[in-house]
Structure 1
């Protein structure tokens, strides 16, 4: 219980700052132990393009990339100060995605020489402007004598000890649809009263033959929750029409930023799928219901192993 409490406190402090951690958790470990690192709030971070090294003070760097067990996103409670009042609340307007922190679970290899050193993480992910990034931060750690072992992160399930599965916290393979974010124009982002996003025509035969309730029960439309201020009062609904899926966004205040249309789409059931990357299009509307110009959206296929391509 003490371990869990300390861990929650550390994570809470990280989220309150919305930054890259300069210490691992724990800060002292044996070769073979498991540590976690906070990697800031990125867009499209993935294991495939992430490299990790450990360099003992005065020594030679050791490649730890193959020891990365998982990278997943951690979100604060939506009613917490971290979500609404801290530096994290500025993440959406400076990045185009919701406030979160990337957590890396790393198994240290055996054979590391005892002593102090630093872990360095590098990747090709995009980070908010005015943000620290992992490649600029040396994460301090001390390796102590002894032989450790990877943490099972076991928990009790119906009275049985079960090993934690971090892959269940990672994003499932999905299509991500979003407009290009303009980081240098975040303070003057155009706003709209409504938008209609259409995903066209690549459902497989099983999905096309299924009833509306069958498809809606398995199709996941995950709209990115932002901005934290909720000034747009954004409402979202969606429907399938044959092979097309239409997502409707409505802002009664007319203050929906263009990047609030970001959405992830996938099927929870394996018998339903997209046969190819769908075509996407979007229309924007002003407060009077008139069609107005706005930025196009782009679609990418995303997995945690390969990123978004």
Structure 2
């Protein structure tokens, strides 16, 4: 996971379409014309069925993801926060003074606070996230806590090429921040494409990226199948959102959350499984599901340190320092652009 996009992850083909919240029939834009609506219809029509995980993150989905990050089974968030806290001084030395921080898939702006606290006089923070409402509220809270920092949120799909504001006069490096191992949501070729895009955007600066590491499959399974069922609710929220925004009639009781570790491909796969034979309508179109048929909703690839560094070189970065926890569950990399 996650946060924030082939069709089953953040594909760069699909990502050329920007998500916008569709409206009820009386609103200016119909569900049939919304990006979410088009991708959902296409995802249900293809075999195997799939939808990009970027559509998890409406306001409710973003709140559920925040709860996932606090679960005892979900080690990535607390482990990455520990690394960022313990290694903040070394990270700040790589970033330098007066930096402009660009966060991809910013979410609730929690982790960046550890970075901001360690940096020397950061000039501006540019958080990018697809959930504009959630981002705006988080940015307002950050402004209150960091009144000297220019906070300029950008509601956008960060997997698409976008033009950032010109650097502020006298600013230092422009540094990307991509925590949470969201890089794992991409297929390998898509991860390369995103890193190449980031390298161009951050030229002269660098990228600080969090990467989940290959580990015991049992630990991975527990992280995506928590005892409280929050990850299941997060997954099923995609169907609730489709009902609310796309004139769909998914029966949430008719689908089950399923997540498992595919060891040969070193990735978690997350699906919604039809509990029975059923027919679902979406914007007037009907889709038949067999019992056991799935909608694939997310990949979460795991990496070795060496594998991530090799990928970064291929994308045009210069790999630098790497920080890990004692158990080597998670890693944070500095990549020079």
Under a length normalisation based on structure 2, what TM-score does the superposition of the two structures give? 0.20
Greater C-alpha Rg: 1
Larger proportion of strand: 1
| Larger fraction in helix | 2
TM-score after normalising by structure 1 = 0.21
